[in-house]
Amino acid sequence: MAWWGTLLGGTLGYMLGGPLGAMLGAALGGNFDRGLNLSDQLDSGNMERVQAAFFTATFSIMGHVAKADGKVTPDEIASASHIMGQMQLNKEQIAAAKKLFNEGKNTDFPLDDILSQFRKECHRRRNLIQMFLEIQIAIAMADGHLHAKEQQLIYHIGQQLGFARTHIDQLLRFTSGSTHAQQSHAQSLDDAYAILGVKPSDSDAEIKKAYRRLMSQHHPDKLVAKGLPEEMVKIATEKTQEIHKAYDLIKSKRN
């Protein structure tokens, strides 16, 4: 929680700035807009700054995604609460996350400004940005369906962050398989293929290559080294467990 300690120390406002800093400051009852004029002078790859940006963007845009179809469902609220539980946030962090979520539901939420700064703050950390996008997709699919407006918004978010539509489709299939497995409390063979983003007709070598790529993309230690807040390690760990389970299931059926 190094970034949170820096925040409470009163210096993160100068460190972050911009729309993300202003939104985080508002969630905490302060004004971090004062960092705006200094933000370009600071290293956008600073680890604590990246972690704060990830936290702020994750929960504010999560609220925006949840409201995409016009209403926030109990499933989406439960999914957001589940993510907070996975992160083992303290009382103050939960309160901030909820305020950010509610900010994201506002009609004047500056989505593109937030995405633009978030992408800049992450400083080409593609796997970290992908993790962020997967969390947003999971919220969109929390009720078991991806509504047209939610899908349109996910495409927009992904493309603003630099992902091609084909890559976003792969992430949608990955999250769909993972969500279905969690809701049914059992991973089916179809779920396993969806999680790995492969087809039953693919060769063993192709499936192994997909498995290794996904494990590398979601490796908790690698993501933390790139700026994933330590609170989100459990989420990354569970994703690698799902990927490993999917690969083992496919191998066992093929053998």
- For 78-136, the pLDDT digits (tens) are 888 888 887 778 888 899 999 999 999 999 999 999 999 999 988 778 888 998 999 99
CB distance 72 to 32 below 8 Å: no
- Identify which of 131, 136, 85, 166 has the alpha carbon closest to the alpha carbon of residue 239: 131
pLDDT at 244 over 90: yes
Q: 3-class SS at 219?
A: coil
What average pLDDT score do residues 176-195 get? 80
The better pLDDT of the pair 226, 244 is held by 244
CA dist., res. 82 & res. 89, Å (int): 11
What average pLDDT score do residues 1-10 get? 60
Provide the whole-model pTM: 0.82
